[in-house]
Structure 1
């Protein structure tokens, strides 16, 4: 197997990394995510102790779960990058969606906790203290999170990692949540609206639950071997049929497992071709598909054109 770095050009014109370069970027992103979450936990804990704000508490809990999720991602990504072995012939890529389901469970638990805490504040509202400290911490959190998200988006463009996409989704949400908390703190401090704080806490909990649902849905798609998006399947057909000797393509099957993509299909060629020539053409098409989808495992069966045979129903 080639251990060099392969790249492809995305629709945005960005070269996509594979192999060692992709592994390096994924490790960088996961490590940065854990470090950022740990820093935010410390500053938000201090802010909550000084302000007693449920909105600040909500962001603290969210950061705690972000740290847990990021650690899970770090472990899962490293495991998913382990090459295929005798016991795992298709690689270890499904460690990513399994980790994502674990993240969704953590996130759901945090949302339930916030709903309970915010509901208690409706019954027994409290005045906030040191609101200016809370605002300063939220501003710091936004800046730190924006820096992390910029790094993650670069890694996503270069690798297409679903695990990093899921992790980035948390932190994009955190930016919005922290901004909402600033609004809640300002309104409470300026106008004394004590119920604004728990209202924002409930809104944040609802947003967290929505994120958990999105992550779970994406993880289940991968675990259930859902087909690649239709635009990518169309691109596969276009590449295969662009070869002058390929007259048709059927029974196309695709799936993703972490970073690994699997492409299988039957290409149709002139039945008069020799087996050696047909094999060479199939190799050429497979190579072109691997260039378009770096790191993909491609298997193409050769069929004589025009021969009637039973075909897959949904190919």
Structure 2
């Protein structure tokens, strides 16, 4: 799993990449006057802001626990992803406004070949970086980095649609296709922003770990609880890269505290070895608290 320092360096590079891609798309729009390319450039402004937020969120999320935040700052990444989704929605609305006016007053495209080539170059660079962010973010269990990568991948898809629409407009002379493609881009961005906000809100609501992870937790506890009677009331939640696990462990009434503690240590060590970023809380209970024995 990538270290915290590595993630923060990648997030810093994301800011520079976003600025470079924005400059390319801005040049493509300036050369052509295309409202569809303007919409693509507008989304890149959001990319720059989102990269800044992701960098700050990763920096904040990895701060150690303190007196005011005894469970850490892990959820900061979810706030970044929510804000990124909100910015995407705002950008989509601005693009729709521009497309609406351009539809009734179609614009002749200037230097289309050069503008499209520059925009295509920006799209390829965006795609490579998006793939890298999503892959690294999932490996590191970083919601902010995954959200940033998914947003960039949305930008890649919409850029491809824009290029296709503009090539069709130039081939047919139907200039109204330019604002129509801008509107399609905006609607796609709007959907992605809504999805991103919804996913991040789930994280803020202490969503449980996925079913395959839950099954793995149950297996590890079962394999390492020798000497106990049962475990029950297993609860989990995720907060950024951290996963919190809590359950009740029933032991024989005559078992000493020291013996029970050794078993708890064994279970915790096994969970930490198999699952990175876990925080385990075990409530030891006497035999009469058993539910299934």
Q: 2:13 aligns with which of 12, 32, 39?
A: 32
| Counterpart position of 1:219 | 200
Instruction: Indicate the SS of the match to 2:202.
Output: helix
Offset at residue 308 of structure 1 (A): 5.0
Give the length in aligned residue pairs: 290
> CA, structure 1 residues 32+84, in 2 after alignment: closer, same or farther (shift >3 Å)?
same
* Counterpart-to-counterpart distance in 1, 2:227 and 2:174: 73
Q: 1:153 aligns with which of 111, 130, 134?
A: 134
| Counterpart position of 1:23 | 4
Kept in 2: contact 1:94–1:257 (CA 8 A): yes
Alpha-carbon deviations, 1:124-143, whole Å to 9, x = none?
Answer: 11221211122111221122
Q: Mind listing any 5+ residue stretches in structure 2 that lack a counterpart?
A: none
Q: 2:144 aligns with which of 127, 143, 163?
A: 163
Larger deviation, residues 248-257 vs 71-80: 248-257
Alpha-carbon deviations, 1:86-131, whole Å to 9, x = none?
Answer: 1110111111111122112211110101111111122111221211
Offset at residue 149 of structure 1 (A): 2.1
TM (norm. structure 1) is: 0.87
| Counterpart position of 2:124 | 143
* Counterpart-to-counterpart distance in 1, 2:94 and 2:118: 22
Q: How does 1:176-255 map to 2 (within 5 A)?
A: 176-243=157-224, 244-255=226-237
Instruction: Indicate the SS of the match to 1:272.
Output: coil
| Counterpart position of 1:272 | 254
Q: Mind listing any 5+ residue stretches in structure 1 that lack a counterpart?
A: 1-16, 310-315
Alignment RMSD: 1.6
Kept in 1: contact 2:134–2:150 (CA 8 A): no
> CA, structure 1 residues 232+191, in 2 after alignment: closer, same or farther (shift >3 Å)?
same
Q: Does 1:299 align with 2:244?
A: no
Kept in 1: contact 2:250–2:289 (CA 8 A): no
Q: Does 1:87 align with 2:83?
A: no
Q: Does 1:108 align with 2:94?
A: no
| Counterpart position of 1:75 | 56
Offset at residue 306 of structure 1 (A): 5.3
Offset at residue 289 of structure 1 (A): 0.9
Kept in 1: contact 2:27–2:115 (CA 8 A): no
* Counterpart-to-counterpart distance in 2, 1:195 and 1:268: 71
| Counterpart position of 1:281 | 263
Runs of 4+ with deviation above 4 angstroms:
none
Greater helix share, structure number? 2
* Counterpart-to-counterpart distance in 1, 2:60 and 2:152: 23
Q: 1:261 aligns with which of 231, 243, 250?
A: 243
* Counterpart-to-counterpart distance in 2, 1:214 and 1:29: 24
* Counterpart-to-counterpart distance in 2, 1:78 and 1:153: 18
Kept in 2: contact 1:177–1:204 (CA 8 A): yes
